[in-house]
Amino acid sequence: MLDILNKILANQLDPKEVMAKLDEILNAVDPNKPIVTYDFSGVKRIRHPGGIISDDSAGTTFDEFMNKMKAQDWTGLAKLAEQQKTERPEWLTPYFFAGMAYGNLCQKGKALSDIEYFLKKALSVYTFEQAETAAEGWLANWKADHWPPSCQ
């Protein structure tokens, strides 16, 4: 610790900035900090030192996603997905449906961004495997410039 303090003084670093960074690091590695995860269908799990709490309140929203997808309501699907990305940032499913919607709306940049984000974060999460397979197929097609017929 003394070496770190001497380095701070030698490099004339702002001690307030250093302390803020140390606090940020402490918060990032806090073993008691709750961990929030979702499965694909919207079941939320909060793990904390005292156990696990489950919440399936996003299940209704998942049903809305599915209904909009079946109806091919791409604009409605995109709107719902954007709303859920804000309300439930840890839930990856909205990125999947946003990518699908934007792909069908020919908004190529948004489609690629959302699907790439989904794949990066959902990698190896057991409940996302089937969606990952679909998203990987879309991504490969889109990168080869094979977009839905509505985009031709």
Name the least confident of 39-43, 64-68, 69-73, 120-124.
120-124
Is there a single domain that holds both residue 141 and residue 90? Answer: yes
Is there a single domain that holds both residue 26 and residue 61? Answer: no
The residue among 38 and 82 whose pLDDT is bigger is: 82
Q: Does 118 fall in a domain?
A: yes
Predicted confidence (pLDDT) per residue in 49-74, tens digit = 888 888 888 989 999 999 999 999 99
Is there a single domain that holds both residue 78 and residue 8? Answer: no
- Per the DSSP assignment, residues forming a β-bridge with 59 are none
Residue 54 — φ and ψ, nearest 5°? Answer: -110, 145
- Per the DSSP assignment, residues forming a β-bridge with 28 are none
- Provide the whole-model pTM: 0.77
Domain interval for residue 3: 1-30
Report how far residue 128's alpha carbon sits from residue 83's, in angstroms, rounded to the nearest whole number.
Answer: 20
Helices (H), the chain: 2-10, 15-28, 59-70, 74-87, 93-104, 108-122, 129-143
Q: How far is CA 46 from CA 49, 56, 148, in A?
A: 10, 12, 38
- Evaluate if residue 9 carries a pLDDT over 70: no
pLDDT of residue 78: 98
Q: What percent of the chain has pLDDT over 70?
A: 96
Q: Does 37 fall in a domain?
A: no
Is there a single domain that holds both residue 62 and residue 2? Answer: no
